[in-house]
Amino acid sequence: MNKPRRHQKGYVFRKGDNWYLRYYDFELQPDDKLRKVQKCKKLVEFGGDYRSKSAVKVLADEFLAPLNNGKMSPASTMTLNQFIEKRYLPFVEANKEPSTYAGYKNSFNLHIKKHGNIALRDVRTLEIEDMLTAIALEFDTAKSTIAHDKMFLSGTFRYAKRQGVVNTENPVRDAVLPKCKETEDTFAYSLEDELTMIRVLPEPSSTVVAVAAWTGLRKGELRGMAWERYTGDMIYVAKSVWRNDIKAPKTRASKAPVPVIAQLAAKLAEYRELSGSPETGWIFPNSVGNPLDLDRLVSDVIRPALEKAGIEWHGWHAFRRGLATNLHRLGVQDKVIQAILRHSNVGVTQGCYIKTVDSDAVIAMQKLEHATNMQLEAENRKSAGRLPIN
């Protein structure tokens, strides 16, 4: 399906405060046939280095180069929306976790789709930055959400390049996030709050919280716990449940066994006896034998009980961060915490899970104050010993 290429220079013109380029291109139609169409592209705003047509012509030549030398495939005339819907999201669904697919699909439908009616080959870093800025202004969203949208777009163009649809550099890579409100800091439960929760919650909520607090298992891994994978001193993570999807954990590191402390072993033994001493099956089943819906458990049981106890609910992942923080406060090395949480690298553990709480900061400054006083006293004694005796 190759068309003979003819070198084109395009027509550069100024309209208002902007420079534009008029040129010809081929578009891939739904029936896979090519149609030659005339297009108009905004190149740059008038002013600065771009006051003359000759200066703007350099930009036009750069833009037209992939068309003239054949580096752009006809498929690259697909809009960003078309490529995401027809190519990228199906790839994500087939190769990534269901939760990842759901998150990407939400990002596309809520944020990207409104701005994605532009051909893949026409997307530059400028368009990406304009898109992210528009999303931030429209939704007044936090920086972490915009960063997630950028990551989704970057993955889209990496996949397009791997598929040979585009052969240019990833336009998302150098895009700078717009100024927007900072992401609220994530929360980590203290050991004191966790013990209170375990005490005031009924079963099975009490045991679910105990497992979350003392193992750091992810929510899907909590739902996927099975009695045949529990030895009394180890929990072997073999399944992760998200909605109705049951899969193996996402990485090899996530499949590592999780140690069980004596208090949790006693708690699980008591819960097992209350459950009829099962040998196999889900540890936390619902009334029909499927994995328990933890979100419903929170809304129906956990949140109301914690409100009465004066404890705010911060989500299941706060137990995972809490375990990392509590171990860190006890002096456990970060590499060991990484192994317990089954992270692929210690940077994730240090950057996202270990929280330095206010009490830690106060204690640290008190230690610094004490060390400084000791040093000053030593120097004063040393100075006093050198003073001449009258």
The tens digit of pLDDT for each residue in 338-359 reads: 666 655 554 444 444 444 444 5
Report whether 292 contacts 286 (CB < 8 A).
yes
The residues near 182 (Cβ < 8 Å, ≥ 6 apart) are: 142, 143
Distance CA 148, CA 100 (A): 11
Mean pLDDT of all residues in 7-13: 91
Is the pLDDT assigned to residue 387 strictly greater than 60? no
Give the confidence band of 35 by pLDDT, cuts at 50, 70, 90: confident
Taking 70 as the threshold, does the pLDDT of residue 71 lie above it? Answer: no
Residues of the chain with CATH 1.10.443.10: 191-353
Instruction: Examine the pLDDT at 303 and tell me if it is beyond 80.
Output: yes
CATH number of 191-353: 1.10.443.10
| pLDDT value, residue 169 | 87
Cα angle 312, 316, 320; round to 5: 110
**How confident is the prediction for the chain on average, in pLDDT?**
83
pTM of the model: 0.60
Q: Report pLDDT for 333.
A: 63
Residue with tokens 């009695």: 227
Nearest Cα residue to 320 out of 174, 216, 179, 180: 216
- CATH number of the domain located at residue range(s) 80-162 in this protein: 1.10.150
pLDDT band at 365 (very low <50, low <70, confident <90, very high): very low
Range(s) for CATH 1.10.150 in the chain?
80-162
pLDDT of residue 240: 84
The answer to whether residues 232 and 199 touch, using CB atoms and an 8 Å cutoff, is: no
- Tens of pLDDT, residue by residue over 227-270, are 999 999 888 888 888 888 887 766 555 566 788 888 889 999 99
Give the helix/strand (H/E) hosting 18.
strand 18-28
Q: Contact 155/83 with Cβ under 8 angstroms?
A: no
How far apart CA 75 and CA 194 sit, in angstroms, is 55
Span 128-184, pLDDT tens digits: 999 999 999 888 877 888 999 999 999 999 999 999 888 888 999 999 998 876 655
pLDDT band of residue 362 (cuts 50, 70, 90) is: very low
pLDDT of 217 higher than 70: yes
Residue 9 has pLDDT above 60, yes or no: yes
d(CA 357, CA 93) in angstroms, rounded, equals 39
Residue owning tokens 């979350």 = 212
**% residues pLDDT > 90 (the chain):** 46
Q: What is the mean pLDDT of residues 330-344?
A: 60
